[in-house]
Chain A
Amino acid sequence: MAKTVNVNVHHVTRVEGHGNIVVNATDGQIEKVEWQVPEAPRFFEAMVRGRSYEDIQTIVSRICGICSITHSLASTKAVEKAMGIEVSEQADKVRILMHYSEQLQSHILHVGYLVSPDLFGLPSVVPLAAKAPEVVLAVIRVHRLANEWSDLIAGRTTHPVTLKPGGMTKFPSEKQLRDLQERLKKGVADLKAVAEAVLSAAGAIPDFTRETEYVSLKQDTPPTYTFYHGDITSTDYAGTVGINDWKTVANEYVNDQSTAKWTKWHRPSYAVGALARYNNNAELLSPLAQDIAKMFAMEKGCCNPYMNNVAQVVECVHVVETSIQMIDELLTTGIKNEKVKVTPKAGKASGCVEAPRGILFHEYEFDRKGNCVGADICIPTNQNHASIQEDFEKLVPEILDEGEDAIRLKMEMLVRSYDPCISCSTHMLDVQFVK
Chain B
Amino acid sequence: MKKATVVLGLGNPLMADEGIGVYLVDRLVSAAERCSGVDFIDAGTGGMSVLHLIEGRGKAIFIDCAFMNEVPGTLRRFTPEEVRSTKVLAHQSLHDADLLRILSLAEQLGQCPEEVVIFGIQPEVVEMRQGLSVSLMDKTEYYLSEILSELDV
A: residues with CB less than 8 A from B are: 11, 13-18, 42-44, 46-47, 59, 62-66, 68, 105-106, 109-110, 113-114, 124-126, 129-130, 133, 136-137, 140, 143-144, 147-148, 156-159, 419, 421-435
Q: Which residues of B contact A59 (CB under 8 A)?
A: 14
B28 to chain A, nearest CB (A): 16
Q: Assuming A47-B129, A129-B108, A434-B82, what are 14 further A-B pairs, CB within 8 angstroms?
A: A15-B91, A46-B128, A65-B47, A66-B47, A105-B49, A114-B93, A140-B111, A147-B49, A148-B52, A157-B46, A425-B15, A427-B47, A429-B67, A430-B88
B9 to chain A, nearest CB (A): 11
Q: Which residues of A contact B44 (CB under 8 A)?
A: 62, 65, 68, 158-159, 427
B142 to chain A, nearest CB (A): 20
Q: Which residues of B contact A422 (CB under 8 A)?
A: 95
* B109 closest partner in A (C-beta): A129
A364 to chain B, nearest CB (A): 17
- Asked if B95 contacts A143 (CB within 8 A), the reply is no
A153 to chain B, nearest CB (A): 15
- Asked if B14 contacts A63 (CB within 8 A), the reply is yes
- Asked if A109 contacts B94 (CB within 8 A), the reply is yes
Cβ of B64 within 8 Å of any chain A Cβ, yes or no, is yes
B19 to chain A, nearest CB (A): 8
Pairs A–B under 8 Å by Cβ, sample size 15 = A62-B13, A64-B95, A65-B44, A66-B47, A113-B94, A114-B94, A124-B91, A157-B43, A158-B49, A427-B65, A428-B66, A430-B67, A430-B86, A431-B120, A434-B83
Interface SS of B by simple majority: mixed
Q: Which of B69, B83, B86, B94 contacts A110 (CB 8 A)?
A: B94
* B29-65 contact mask (Cβ, 8 Å, vs A): 1 or 0: 0000000000001111111110111010000000011
* B1-26 contact mask (Cβ, 8 Å, vs A): 1 or 0: 00000000011111100100000000
* B67 closest partner in A (C-beta): A430
- Asked if B94 contacts A426 (CB within 8 A), the reply is no
* B17 closest partner in A (C-beta): A428
* A46 closest partner in B (C-beta): B128
B: residues with CB less than 8 A from A are: 10-15, 18, 41-49, 51-53, 55, 64-69, 78, 81-96, 98-101, 104-105, 108-109, 111, 118, 120, 123, 126, 128-130
- Asked if A427 contacts B96 (CB within 8 A), the reply is yes
- Asked if B52 contacts A428 (CB within 8 A), the reply is no
- Asked if B52 contacts A147 (CB within 8 A), the reply is yes
- Asked if B92 contacts A428 (CB within 8 A), the reply is no
B55 to chain A, nearest CB (A): 8
Q: Which of B10, B87, B92 contacts A125 (CB 8 A)?
A: B92
State in angstroms the CA–CA spacing of A280 and B151 once bound together: 54
- Asked if A44 contacts B14 (CB within 8 A), the reply is yes
* B13 closest partner in A (C-beta): A62
Q: Which of A136, A140, A424 contacts B96 (CB 8 A)?
A: A424
- Asked if A62 contacts B83 (CB within 8 A), the reply is no
A293 to chain B, nearest CB (A): 23
- Asked if A156 contacts B42 (CB within 8 A), the reply is yes
- Asked if B10 contacts A427 (CB within 8 A), the reply is yes
- Asked if B105 contacts A66 (CB within 8 A), the reply is no
Sorted nearest first, the 8 A-B pairs with minimum C-beta distance are A65-B45, A424-B95, A16-B93, A158-B46, A16-B96, A429-B66, A13-B91, A430-B87
Interface hub of A14, A113, A430 (most chain B Cβ within 10 A): A430
Q: Which residues of A contact B43 (CB under 8 A)?
A: 157-158
State in angstroms the CA–CA spacing of A124 and B47 once bound together: 16
- Contact A431-B128, Cβ < 8 Å, known A64-B95, A143-B51, A157-B53: no
- Asked if A16 contacts B90 (CB within 8 A), the reply is yes
Q: Which residues of B contact A434 (CB under 8 A)?
A: 82-84
State in angstroms the CA–CA spacing of A430 and B14 once bound together: 19
- Contact A426-B109, Cβ < 8 Å, known A65-B46, A434-B83: no
Q: Which residues of A contact B52 (CB under 8 A)?
A: 140, 143-144, 147-148, 157
